[in-house]
Amino acid sequence: MPEPVVSPEPLPTPFASELGSLADPGRHHAPLEIAGEDPRGLLDALRRMVLIRLCEQAIATLVGSGEVKCPCHLGVGQEAIAVGVVKHLTARDHVFSAHRSHAHFLALVDDPALLLHEVFGKATGSSRGMGGSQHLIAADKGFTGSNPIVGGVVPVAVGAALGNKMDRQGNVAVVFFGDGASEEGGLHECLNLAANFVLPLLFVCENNFYASQMDICLRQPSDRISRFAEAHHVPVRVVDGNDLVAVSHAAGELIAEARRSGRPGFLEATTYRWLGHVGHREDIDVGIKRKLDDLVQWKQRDPIARLRQALQTTGHLTPGAFAAMQQEIQARIDQEVAAARSAPYPDPAVLLDYVYCQGGS
């Protein structure tokens, strides 16, 4: 009898974390260090982060109840990156994002109406009801477009940066994407193009360690995405993405450099999403489950709580004022949810009318 053929055990995916404490959910729980910061700027940032948090939670409730049906990729827990980057931008800059884009949109637009109406698919939404959660635009605020092909919008952002360079007005392009997008070849092409053509583009990688259900340790030999930017000679900053102050300083430096010299930059900000890849539940990710311990600990690295505590400890915010801020924002959200429910759907004619600018179909 011949020996049965036994396949050898597959080699484990070789993985080594290179992010140190930034990837450790047990670290960075303390209130932020805000000495020397402008408290008014921080209070405004806190307010925008609370707007994002409450709006995402409202959408989660609507998804859970079945009222909102389009796929919603929620960014609860990731608010500081959007707010910390966007505070350095003007409406003449060009911001692009991917499937998890609500935070970036709200940080720029600073009002929940257009997003809430859009997730209901109503003609009063940001994309006139044609986009849903995944295709957003607010051109007058600098939000140029988002869509859910992973990494797909990055080359478009490179083109906006080329346009900015040709315009010679000092405007910049910013593209938000996740760690998963670094596994698409296009991102590597884009890093090379931005470096080669010297384009004023800020790459912002929100590294939340998961691409859909897959842990980064099963996808890459390292968790440090910015190594790809270094390979293309693009200047890199790596920060705790749940630290509004750290994000803001790093983004501010890179954006100022892009405006001054036209050079690209790469910001890697570590964070964690509290909810599943898509939808309203924490445990929705299929396949390889996230570790519950990690989630519990990451919630201790809450970007909002850490900023709020710092502002309270230093006397710039009272618990009562924070509660009032939350109530005011919640009331605005509730008002727009009610308005969205009764708003009209798009006119059937636009199904064909929006295909081409003129004539056509």
Residues interacting with another protein, by CB under 8 A? 94, 125-131, 135-137, 139, 144-145, 147, 149, 152-164, 166-167, 173, 185-186, 189-190, 192-193, 196, 346, 350, 353-361
Query: Of the two residues 84 and 121, which places its CB atom closer to another protein in the complex?
Result: 121
Query: Of the two residues 284 and 352, which places its CB atom closer to another protein in the complex?
Result: 352
Query: Of the two residues 174 and 310, which places its CB atom closer to another protein in the complex?
Result: 174
- Amino acid found at 41: G
**Other Cβ atoms within 10 Å of 167 Cβ, number:** 11
Would you say 71 and 119 are in contact if contact means Cβ atoms under 8 Å apart?
A: no
For the bound state, the minimum distance from the C-beta of residue 181 to another protein, rounded and expressed in Å, comes to 13
How buried is 212 (Cβ within 10 angstroms: 0-12 exposed, 13-18 middle, 19+ buried)? middle
Tell me which DSSP letter residue 138 carries.
B
For the bound state, the minimum distance from the C-beta of residue 4 to another protein, rounded and expressed in Å, comes to 42
For the bound state, the minimum distance from the C-beta of residue 360 to another protein, rounded and expressed in Å, comes to 5
Query: Of the two residues 128 and 308, which places its CB atom closer to another protein in the complex?
Result: 128
354 Ramachandran zone, left/alpha/beta (phi>0; psi -120 to 50): alpha
Task: Read off the tokens for 78.
Answer: 């990731």
For the bound state, the minimum distance from the C-beta of residue 347 to another protein, rounded and expressed in Å, comes to 11
For the bound state, the minimum distance from the C-beta of residue 69 to another protein, rounded and expressed in Å, comes to 17
- Dihedral sign of CA atoms 125, 130, 136, 138 in order: negative
Task: Read off the tokens for 297.
Answer: 């600990």
How buried is 135 (Cβ within 10 angstroms: 0-12 exposed, 13-18 middle, 19+ buried)? middle
For the bound state, the minimum distance from the C-beta of residue 107 to another protein, rounded and expressed in Å, comes to 19
For the bound state, the minimum distance from the C-beta of residue 269 to another protein, rounded and expressed in Å, comes to 23
Distance CA 205, CA 238 (A): 10
Query: Of the two residues 122 and 224, which places its CB atom closer to another protein in the complex?
Result: 122
Query: Of the two residues 22 and 255, which places its CB atom closer to another protein in the complex?
Result: 255
Residue 237's DSSP bridge partners are: 267
Task: Read off the tokens for 180.
Answer: 């998963």
Looking at 11-153, list the stretches that DSSP marks H as alpha helix, in order from N- to C-terminal side. Answer: 39-65, 79-86, 102-109, 113-119
Query: Of the two residues 76 and 89, which places its CB atom closer to another protein in the complex?
Result: 89
Query: Of the two residues 49 and 89, which places its CB atom closer to another protein in the complex?
Result: 89
**Other Cβ atoms within 10 Å of 35 Cβ, number:** 8
For the bound state, the minimum distance from the C-beta of residue 180 to another protein, rounded and expressed in Å, comes to 15
For the bound state, the minimum distance from the C-beta of residue 44 to another protein, rounded and expressed in Å, comes to 28
Query: Of the two residues 40 and 168, which places its CB atom closer to another protein in the complex?
Result: 168
Give Cα separations from 226 to 144, 212, 257, 265, 266 (angstroms).
24, 20, 18, 10, 7
Distance CA 86, CA 143 (A): 10
